[in-house]
Amino acid sequence: MHPHHPMLLLDPAELRPTQLTVGYAEVAAKRAAWEGLGKQKRKILLSRHWFPGVLGPKQHCYIVDHHHLGLALLEEGVASVPVMVLRDFSWLPPAEFWRAMEFYQWAHPYDADDERREHTAFPRSLAQLQNDTYRSLAARVQDAGGYAKDAIPYAEFMWASFLRERLTLHKDERLSAKLVARAVKLAHGRDAAYLPGWSGRR
């Protein structure tokens, strides 16, 4: 652990998002995994998956990662999760706070249509995040070996945007094996060579 970062225990309902969308299929998968764990394993999972957060205006805690897990735990009725406070920006006015968050690559103000939105569009709760089926597809493609996990912030959003340009999905379309296979093929193509974690052939 990093002793210089304070740890908080917070109700998932208090956590504020720093993005506008998640893939609901991913949230459902995380809920199913949680439901399959015994008490001890749940404890271990929570102790290992602390949420990185930044304190913002009015002392609200904004998480900068693990949005899918946070929403899954909120829906599962988990009472508290560990949050590691990376920075305290609570003294900044909202517009400056969000500018700082973007500067540090801790906020992604794009909606499910890839449109950039004002900072006022960020939901106040994880429960208000929009579904983006392409985010779920991007995660499935990574699981299927379509690309490698990469430390670049918002890499999955970049892959989701790439797939959105090339595949038409209906709003809550089921991600069939056939669809994932098509997406993996696209991910290995040369058009995707600029993306983080690309694992095709040059």
Q: pLDDT (tens digit, 9 = 90+) per residue, 84-143?
A: 999 999 999 999 999 999 999 999 999 999 999 999 999 999 999 999 999 999 999 999
DSSP-derived pairing of the beta strands 51-55 and 130-131:
unpaired
pLDDT of residue 197: 96
Question: Can 7-109 and 133-192 be said to share one CATH topology?
Answer: no
The whole-number average pLDDT for the span 147-152 is 92
Q: Which CATH number fits domain 133-192: 1.10.1740.10, 1.10.10.10, 1.10.8.10, 3.30.56.10?
A: 1.10.8.10
- Residue 131: phi and psi, rounded to 5, are -80, 135
- Contact by Cβ (8 Å): 12, 101: no
Q: Is 33 helix (H, G, I), strand (E, B) or coil?
A: helix
pTM attached to this predicted model: 0.92
Which has the higher per-residue pLDDT, 202 or 112? Answer: 112
Of the pLDDT bands very low, low, confident and very high (cuts 50, 70, 90), residue 202 is low
Query: What are the domain boundaries of the chain?
Result: 7-109, 133-192
Give ∠ CA 69-75-78 in degrees, rounded to 5: 80
DSSP-derived pairing of the beta strands 61-63 and 15-16:
parallel
Q: CA-CA distance, 93 to 148, in Å (whole number)?
A: 38
Domain 7-109 sits in CATH at: 3.90.1530.10
| DSSP string across 73-97 | HHHTT---EEEEEEEE-TTS-HHHH
Q: Is the pLDDT of residue 46 over 80?
A: yes
* Measured CA distances, 76 to 15, 16, 35, 60, 86 (Å): 15, 17, 8, 22, 26
pLDDT of residue 201: 76
